[in-house]
Structure 1
């Protein structure tokens, strides 16, 4: 009898355990998107699959049907395109850490691509390994996979001793091979580097990504697959040693099959392209006008970026083909975005991405998934990388083991109003932060690095007095400020605070006659939002007005513009830096928000 009981129990364990999928099966998922019964004739709720395609340095200006037709045919036209999506830091590594940690940069404090202020080694030293979004997805029953660029300073020398956590299987591009389009090197499942000679990087990332997708589809568990090609990032030859003065970053490369494409393409000659008069603040206002040879080089650089995107566009089509063939598309969210943007020639600039202009910080975001509308453009909301990360967690029913700073993105499913304690319905702001050297790329720079590049920039849009408004407000370590009204100045060529910058750090707040009373009122409110957001944690990052108005009188800029609040906003302490210094130095960024300053009437 005892033997029979033991055999019965063992059989039960085998049936429940199956292929190691019992945890996920309890959530009712299968790869074809059909609910499983719970023994009472009811379907259990599904956990959706997620495929993230993360490009490298793709600005929103290259997110077009003409440049990426498959992306638009298969994803944008069948899902939602988000017009306002911004990077938290206009640099690869910090932005990717915000995705992994669901945290603003001032909270995770990984602010550069290398030590002492950033990179994979600092990420490890901070204790973040095993405490990332993919780790939390695994704890929620997901199989997780990743291929491509993960984080800067993950190198040939440390990829084994500093392993990545949170993935069932992974193929990580590692330095110095990360940006070598024709000589990529991968750490496979935290093993030693495997170099692929004369193999196009984007193509092998696609090949490996599709193989991981096959593995994911073969299991009954829900899955997350991250695919991160390097296109259209600048090319870096893995055989060249990095100089302290030059990074040797040049035109992106492409496979022969795309040689014929975009041969006549030129950079858009917008109002900000190589202007006759200098613009911007700090080192930007010192840039010389570009000569004809430099402009021709920038055009060729642009063509290289467009060609390098073609293999990614092809991969998008292959991903959808595989999901459709497996019958998994109806229960899979496919997300396309980039870690940060990129600029060429605007404001007289060499290739680069470390400023807070729209071309640096505004990046594509398109999502297709179950229940989402087709061909819809979200022009109202404003989101960032932490919100995308929070969306993955919420879809999976996963929880981080610390307080995160994001809100679930509105997927427009028709039944969404809020995400628990944090509402995204009035989420119309994004903050971009930067604390390290500015970086210039390409053949025409003598030194790749620029000092005095520390800033905080707020991007906010709303409807005020019945009219749509969009503002970009920046505070720099030099004491300078920028304010652009993007509804009338989309290329950011007219800094409304330029006449005041020479007068001192706080002159902008005492010069009604120059700025005008109405814009002065706007400035006070934008500065107050920045004051809250620059040290926000959790809810205050999503709903900064909840800190300013804890009794709930104000939720939007439109409501904040009521005249009865003029005195309150005018009397708040103003955001400033004491001086320029590399790295996040909170002591240089006083004051920090104090709840005692809140409006309590």
Structure 2
């Protein structure tokens, strides 16, 4: 047996053992999962509500650039799936950090919140504030509904630890440049605190400890709480915790038919891209392994959250939500590491939830997107959902009920290409993210229209890897009508009417 094969088998066995241990409440921070019909039916120390109001608590773990092909290496996330419900057709409305996060906070599409990119006049923290988006955050609604709110980790691109704490957040532990995971500064409720390069300074672990303290204090207060923990991991430079350095060596990249391939009839911006060179493939493989290693600490964070909720007796009254701001391509469509396309590699991200009344080990195929998170959180809190919100609540879908006003399509928006020096998505000497586009994604189709008028259409029911562009002549009239309405819609009623194709 070769050394590489042996390492792969050892790692596979380790993951299998870890997953089995998680299900039995592992000693490294796991929490027991329920085998009952719903994930809110555990017994023992997790049976308390932790809230004198009876309102549920929410812990939302948002990762950065996490792609779907990483979940198989995160046993705590797999345990969360077993304990709860997975939204299999959940997508982001802009596959880029800041516009995706802005959509989460406001519940608005980029064309309404004004945040399309990570910097400049149409992006970043400055555009978010310029458009008054801070006053639309779900945190304000939940705070008014009696919730203690906490935010930890990565906020918005361009935010600096010297910037003030935004309204709506009671606890604020936020970094600026936390991508290296070491040698960063946190704004801890207005105080700048520097962290170094010791193992204890690893940011994901620091956030895990702060989440534990916040949950413990909130449980003692008797007030319901909303906590968002936004990790920088596994974003480049893909820094793992020291304990997981080299843990994924020998792991192969999970190549799909889209790897190092172009769609038939490719759009202009992709046409002519050369096949990947050996050096590029090696870099992609090493990057993927480091991303797996970085996510192992995120996996621990989730386990620690579940263990703390159980220990404090509030597990049965707490929703745990896991997702990512966007996906990530690494070699698919001959593109090196990046995002921003309308392909599923970039827009399809996990949406996994467990909590009171959420059916266990269930998959929901209802299309939803990240503009639906704000109204979901506000609805769980019994708060007023602002009229500016474009999304609809996922509460019914989470609890096994058909949503009353279910959308059938998701709008994806993008401004590009990004030619900013130092942009992490640049590929070689030029940007390789697409030019500006608007797109519609349904469960069985992808329709993209670029600012130039060029169009793409994929029948994803027959072509799940989006490799056969059927072109303009194949676009159904219903999708053109939906896109025309969606890209101008404002407010939940108009946007959901436009989304019914």
Common topology (TM > 0.5): yes
- For residues 433 and 426 of structure 2, what CA distance do their matches in structure 1 show? 18
CA 1:116–1:365: 2 relative to 1, 3 Å? same
CA–CA separation in structure 2 for the residues paired with 1:282 and 1:191: 49
2:262–2:467: 8 Å Cα contact kept in structure 1?
no
Q: Offset at 1:129?
A: 2.8
Residue 404 (structure 1) aligns with: 389
Matched, 1:482 2:488: no
| Stretches of structure 1 lacking an aligned partner (at least 5 in a row) | 1-29, 37-44, 236-251, 462-469, 498-507, 509-514, 546-555, 558-601
Quote how far apart the aligned CAs of 1:342 are.
0.5
Aligned to 1:231: 233
8 Å contact kept, 2:149–2:225? yes
1:413 and 1:113 mapped to 2: Cα distance?
31
Give deviations 1:13-46, integer Å, cap 9, x for gaps: xxxxxxxxxxxxxxxxx9931786xxxxxxxx73
Closer, same or farther: CA 413–449 of 1 in aligned 2, 3 Å? closer
1:355-370 superposed matches below 5 A? 355-370=341-356
How far is 1:434 from its partner? 0.4
Aligned to 2:283: 297
The Cα RMSD (Å) is: 2.4
Which residue of the partner structure matches residue 77 of structure 2?
A: 71
User: CA contact under 8 A between 1:278 and 1:287: conserved in structure 2?
Assistant: no
- Structure 2 distance, partners of 1:322, 1:295, is 41
What residue is the counterpart of 2:485 in the other structure? Answer: 532
State the TM-score, normalized to the length of structure 1: 0.71
User: Which residue of the partner structure matches residue 101 of structure 2?
Assistant: 96
Partner of 2:180: 180
Gaps of at least 5 residues in structure 2 are: 1-45
| CA pair 31-348 structure 1, distance change in 2 beyond 3 A | same
Report the Cα offset of residue 146 of structure 1.
Answer: 1.0
For the pair 1:306 / 2:292, whether they are aligned, the reply is yes
Distance 1:407 1:327, change over 3 A: same
Shift of the alpha carbon at 1:127? 2.5
2:163 to 138, 159, 162: 159
Whole-Å separation in 2 of the counterparts to 1:68 and 1:373: 21
Matches within 5 A, 1:192-231: 192=192, 194-198=194-198, 199-231=201-233
1:16 is matched with: none
Compared CA separation, residues 71 and 401, structure 1 to 2 (3 A): closer
* 1:60 correspondence with 2:64: no
**Contact 1:456/1:475 (CA < 8 Å) preserved in 2?**
yes
2:431 counterpart residue number:
449
Counterpart residue number, 1:427: 407
| TM-superposition CA deviations, 1:72-104 (whole Å, max 9, x none) | 12x110100110111111111111111111111
Looking at structure 2, the residues matched to 370 and 471 of structure 1 have their Cα atoms a distance apart, in angstroms, of 33
* Whole-Å separation in 2 of the counterparts to 1:184 and 1:31: 38
TM-score, with length taken from structure 2: 0.84
C-alpha separation in 1, matches of 2:234 and 2:396: 27
Aligned length: 451
3-state secondary structure, aligned to 1:478: coil
Is 1:48 aligned to residue 2 of structure 2? Answer: no
Q: Work out whether residues 278 and 285 of structure 1, in 8 Å CA contact, stay in contact via their aligned partners in 2.
A: no
Query: What CA distance in whole angstroms lies between the structure 2 residues aligned with 1:459 and 1:327?
Result: 41
1:133 to 138, 151, 154: 138
Task: Name the SS for the 2:394 alignment partner.
Answer: coil
Q: CA contact under 8 A between 1:202 and 1:229: conserved in structure 2? A: yes
Q: CA deviation at 1:431?
A: 1.0
Q: Is the 8 A contact 2:174 2:186 kept in 1?
A: yes
Secondary structure class of the residue paired with 2:269: helix
Matched residue, 1:374: 360
Alignment of 1:555-574 (within 5 A): 557=501
Superposed CA offset, 1:507-552 (max 9, x none)? x3xxxxxx5xxx45xx21111111111111121212326xxxxxxx
Alpha-carbon shift at residue 296 of structure 1 (Å): 1.2
